[in-house]
Chain A
Amino acid sequence: MSVNGLKIIDILNKIADVIDENKFYLTELDAAIGDGDHGLNMSKGFAVVKEKLKEDTGSNIGDILKKTGMALVSNVGGASGPLYGTAFLKAAVVMNGKGEMDLFDFVMVLQAALDGIKMRGKAEPDDKTMIDAIEPALNVLKDGVEKRLPVKVTLKEAVDAAYRGVEHTKEITARKGRASYLGERSIGHQDPGATSSALILDTIYQAIADGR
């Protein structure tokens, strides 16, 4: 099972909508332990992504992801802009010149994105960041590919793992970003970056599961 460039654009549009619907929720999570702009900034950035992809014919998925990354880097600001921007730019390298993406490609894309986020943010698992949602999801995906499980089942399990990762961020102390100044006072609060990452993965799954 694979998806073409137009489907990727459709998924990115859906991600933009989901981020916009959740902007106040994400901003509220951020206000508790950060500077309270995550949802608003992400929504602003993804609105530009939508705009930039309007004329795209979908022939080169690498190009689509690059436009997405550049739009996020230039318009989100704060720490999320460079982090999500780098994730998409690194993913773009993997998909450069390709018109179709299958589950194996997606594993490579998510691996590149995660490596990019770790490099840019100098963060590790359990630092209470987006990594805590993405890495567990990636591990499930790798496992699914290895065992040749059905795509939709694998994606669903990956999304569940991402949400479990988000829950886990409530139990740990922030060690990166503004939340780290709070030290143990950050315990009990869910990480907004991990939450937006899980929402994005969930949207990808929903769009694939829809099968349209």
Chain B
Amino acid sequence: MKKLVNRPENVVEEMLSGMVLAHPDYVRKLDGFNVLVRRESPVEKKVALVSGGGSGHEPSHGGYVGYGMLDAAIAGDVFTSPTPDPIYEAIKAVDGGAGVLLIVKNYTGDIMNFEMAKDMAEIDGCQVEYVVVNDDVAVENSTYTAGRRGIAGTVFVHKIAGAKAEIGASLEEVKVTAQKVIDNVRSMGMALSPCIVPAAGKANFTLAEDEMEIGMGIHGEPGTHKDTLKTADEITAQLVNKILEDMQLLDGDEVAVMINGLASTPLMELYIVNRRVHEILSSKGIKIYKTFVGEFMTSLEMAGCSVSVLELDEELKELLNASADTPAFKLL
């Protein structure tokens, strides 16, 4: 293992300390908990947005704490859901009286821990609702699985629900908008190389020199299949076609696109992927309203990317364009 760490058990806490020192104008850390909240929390009479999950996906989710996006982000151990206590503390710290919306990625542990925290906060009289993001089309969404996983499309939920909350919408309205984003977004990823959880010290799967995994999850969960390495255009077509199979996009529909790097893939390659995504969508008459290329939800040092497509309507367009100012996402 070749990593810039001190002790594996301290990585999350040390990372958060570093984040607070880097962005003191945006975030502060809750004493005794691995939680970042907006510096000015709680924001009076605004619905508060809380997200989080296992660490190792930076800038998700702490990087999105700030104006127009999240009010709090809970950082669990690497790839492990946080326990209910810090989630509960986060809810209490950011509730400005208008209620709290939890944005949870669809993983069994995350759902249970966030649900328990919701129950605990409700006993104290907090109004709490939650939505579950499940944008990964690589997993069959059936009664025989835990359902689709939540991946990079979650960042669209943070952005759009965050903008909705910022204009003074009620908890129910913010939840409805967040759910609309979830219903309209699909993603699919692929990996070129594995990643190493610091505490484990070795890679959680292997890929041969000429191999890739299509549909790989952000924790190295199996995808749809292993394949021999192909060109960027061929790989991109596989991802986009699988996404489009699951959406009813018509000629003239508008979408936002996110090309997300998993951490070890250079921006150069992400732009090459983006070029092909635009070609494919344009050839079908689908209009790309806005494009995001960069690292939004990483997977430690994994190489690879994911593509997300969000179908837009007037409301979503307006909210997507609203300003946001956070350490990792700025739209001014």
Contacts and interface: CB of A to CB of B under 8 A. Distances in A.
Interface residues of A, number: 28
A180 interface: yes
B222 A177 contact: no
Contacts of A120: 112, 115-116
A183 interface: yes
A177 B146 contact: yes
A85 B113 CA distance: 10
B236 interface: no
Contact of A181 (B85, B143, B146): B146
Contact of A86 (B77, B116, B139): B116
A175 B144 contact: yes
Contacts of B77: 77
A177 B108 contact: yes
Contacts of B183: none
Contact of B116 (A41, A73, A182, A183): A73
25 contacts: A35-B79, A35-B219, A36-B200, A73-B83, A73-B85, A74-B83, A77-B76, A77-B80, A77-B113, A79-B81, A79-B109, A81-B109, A81-B113, A82-B113, A82-B115, A82-B116, A120-B112, A120-B116, A121-B112, A175-B143, A177-B108, A178-B108, A178-B146, A180-B146, A181-B146
Tell which of B85, B116, B139, B217 has the most Cβ of chain A within 10 Å: B116
Contacts of A77: 76-77, 80-83, 109, 113
B313 interface: no
Contacts of B96: none
Interface string A180-191: 111101000000
A176 interface: yes
A177 B11 CA distance: 26
B293 to A, nearest CB: 28
Contacts of B109: 77-79, 81-82
A202 interface: no
Interface residues of B, number: 28
Contacts of A41: 80
Interface in B66-117: 76-77, 79-85, 107-109, 112-113, 115-116
A74 B149 CA distance: 24
B82 A82 contact: no
B194 to A, nearest CB: 14
B302 to A, nearest CB: 15
Contacts of A76: 83
B112 to A, nearest CB: 4
A132 interface: no
A81 to B, nearest CB: 6
Contacts of B217: 181
A75 B80 CA distance: 12
B146 A176 contact: yes
B145 interface: yes
Contacts of A85: 116
